[in-house]
C-alpha cells in the first residue's frame, strides 16, 4: 500500500475522535497529510474520562506491553511539547512520581516491576505520602512515572493543535459500514451525518480508533467495554504530591489541589451508563483506606466511562484484516500512556507506506487467532 501524498484529493480518515484518533490525526497532519476525523461524540471518549497516569512501572506491566509503555513514556515530553507548540495550550504534564503501597515486604518485593522502583519502608512511605493509611507498611516509589491532565487540558490542546494544522472534523457523524473494493482493499466508509443524511466517503487509508465501540464496525476484533466510575475531590494545594496507586483505587493529584479518585472495573456492565451506589461506595472505601484525611475533602465531580479492553489487556495496533485500514484500539487502562507511541508509529507507517513497525508486531489483531506462530 502506497502512502497518501500531500496532494492526494482523498484524505486519510480517522474513525473516532477520542485521544487515539486525535493523536494520530495530529501526527499525520504534522507530516503534511490531509486528515479528516469522523467523530460521533468526542465527549464519550475514554480520553476525557481517564485519570491520566503515565505508569508503566506502577501498573506492574510486563513483557512487550512494558517495553511499549517505556518507549511511550520516554517519548511523551517531546510529544507534549509538539502539541503545546501547535495549540498554544498547556497539556498539564507532571513528572510527579507514583507510589505503590503494600501491606507486606513480600508483596512489595514480588511486584513485577519492583526492580524499577525505590523500595520504601513505613517511615519512608509516610514521608512520601503524609497521612497514608496505617495498614500500608511499605511501598515502591517509581520516580520516572507521572501524570498528565488529560480530562481538562490534554484533550483540548490536541483538538486545538489539530485545528491549527487544518485537520477537518465531522463531529456528530456515525460511521455505519467500512467498504471494500472487489479486491478486498479499503474503499471507504458509509456515514450518517449529524443531520441524519447517509453518505459515502471514499479513501485510500483510514484508522479505526473507536475505543470500546470498535467491534461494532469490525466484529472480528476482540474489543469489549469495561466500565469505570470515578470522582474528584478538592484538596489543599500540595497536600498530596505523589500519585498513590493502590490495589483497586488510585489518587491522582493535580497541580491546583484537585485529586482524581478512580476507578471501578466493571466487566459485566457492558455499555450501561450512569453512576451506581456500589461503584461509589467502592471508591469511597478505597479512598478512606489509602488516605483517610481525604475522605473529608469536598467532592467536585463524579463520572463514568468505558475502557476498551482485549482478552490480554493489550492494544490492537497495526494493519487490520482490510488492507488500508489500520487499528489503534483496545488500550484498556493505558490509553493515555500509550497515546504518544501509538500516534508516532501509526503515523510513520501510514506516511511512509511501510507494512508495519517492529515495535507494533506483538500487538497485531490476529494474535488471538488460533494457529498464529
In the chain, what are the domain boundaries? Answer: 12-86+151-222+312-368, 95-145+224-309
CATH of the structural domain 95-145+224-309, one choice from 3.90.1560.10, 3.40.640.10, 3.40.50.720, 3.30.9.10 = 3.30.9.10
Report DSSP letters for 136-173, one per residue. --EEEEETT-EEE-IIIIIHHHHHHHHHHTT-EEEET-
Q: How many other CB atoms are there within 10 angstroms of residue 295's CB atom?
A: 13
Q: What CATH number does the domain located at 12-86+151-222+312-368 have?
A: 3.50.50.60
Q: Tell me, what's the pLDDT at 177?
A: 96
Is residue 245 classed as helix, strand or coil in its secondary structure? strand
Q: Tell me, what's the pLDDT at 352?
A: 77
Q: Tell me, what's the pLDDT at 6?
A: 38
Contact yes or no for 347/24 (Cβ under 8 A) = yes
Q: Tell me, what's the pLDDT at 2?
A: 38
Q: What is the pTM of this model?
A: 0.94
Q: Mean pLDDT in each 10-residue stretch from start to end of the chain (373 residues)?
A: 45 96 98 95 78 97 97 98 98 97 98 98 98 98 98 96 97 95 96 92 95 95 96 94 96 96 94 95 97 96 95 96 96 97 95 74 87 48
Q: What are the Cα distances from residue 269, in Å, to 265, 305, 330?
A: 9, 11, 17
**For the chain, first and last CA: distance in Å?**
24
Amino acid at each position: 500500500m502506497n502512502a497518501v501524498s500531500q496532494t492526494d484529493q482523498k484524505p486519510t480518515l480517522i474513525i473516532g475522535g477520542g485521544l487515539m484518533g486525535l493523536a494520530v490525526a495530529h501526527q499525520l497532519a504534522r507530516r503534511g497529510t490531509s486528515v479528516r476525523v469522523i467523530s460521533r461524540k468526542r465527549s464519550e471518549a475514554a480520553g476525557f474520562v481517564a485519570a491520566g497516569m503515565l505508569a508503566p512501572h506502577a501498573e506492574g506491566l510486563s513483557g512487550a506491553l512494558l517495553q511499549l509503555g517505556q518507549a511511550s513514556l520516554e517519548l511523551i515530553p517531546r510529544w507534549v511539547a509538539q502539541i503545546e507548540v501547535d495549540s498554544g495550550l498547556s497539556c498539564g504534564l507532571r513528572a510527579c512520581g507514583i507510589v505503590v503501597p503494600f501491606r507486606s515486604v513480600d508483596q512489595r518485593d514480588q511486584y513485577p516491576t519492583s526492580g524499577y522502583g525505590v523500595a520504601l519502608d513505613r517511615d519512608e512511605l509516610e514521608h512520601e505520602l503524609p497521612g497514608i493509611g496505617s495498614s500500608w507498611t511499605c511501598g515502591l516509589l517509581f520516580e520516572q512515572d507521572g501524570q498528565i491532565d488529560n480530562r481538562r487540558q490534554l484533550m483540548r490542546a490536541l483538538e486545538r493543535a489539530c485545528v491549527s494544522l487544518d485537520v477537518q472534523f465531522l463531529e456528530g457523524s456515525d460511521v455505519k459500514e467500512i467498504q471494500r473494493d472487489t479486491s478486498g482493499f479499503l474503499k471507504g466508509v458509509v456515514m450518517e451525518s449529524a443531520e441524519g443524511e447517509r453518505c459515502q466517503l471514499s479513501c485510500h487509508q483510514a484508522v479505526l480508533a473507536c475505543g470500546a465501540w470498535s467491534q461494532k464496525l469490525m466484529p472480528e476484533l476482540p474489543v469489549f467495554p469495561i466500565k469505570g466510575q470515578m470522582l474528584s475531590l478538592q484538596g489543599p494545594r500540595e497536600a498530596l504530591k505523589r500519585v498513590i496507586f493502590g490495589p483497586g483505587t488510585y489518587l491522582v493529584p493535580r497541580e491546583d489541589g484537585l485529586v482524581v479518585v478512580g476507578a471501578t472495573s466493571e466487566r459485566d456492565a457492558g455499555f450501561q451508563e450512569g453512576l451506581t451506589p456500589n461503584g461509589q461506595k467502592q471508591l469511597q472505601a478505597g479512598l478512606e483506606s489509602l488516605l483517610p484525611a481525604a475522605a473529608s475533602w469536598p467532592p467536585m465531580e463524579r463520572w463514568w466511562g468505558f475502557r476498551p479492553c482485549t482478552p490480554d489487556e493489550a492494544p490492537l495496533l497495526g494493519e487490520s484484516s482490510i488492507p488500508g485500514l489500520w487499528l489503534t484500539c483496545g488500550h484498556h487502562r493505558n490509553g493515555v500512556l500509550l497515546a504518544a507511541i501509538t500516534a508516532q508509529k501509526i503515523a510513520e507507517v501510514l506516511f511512509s507506506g511501510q507494512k508495519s513497525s517492529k515495535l507494533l508486531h506483538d500487538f497485531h489483531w490476529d494474535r488471538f487467532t488460533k494457529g498464529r506462530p
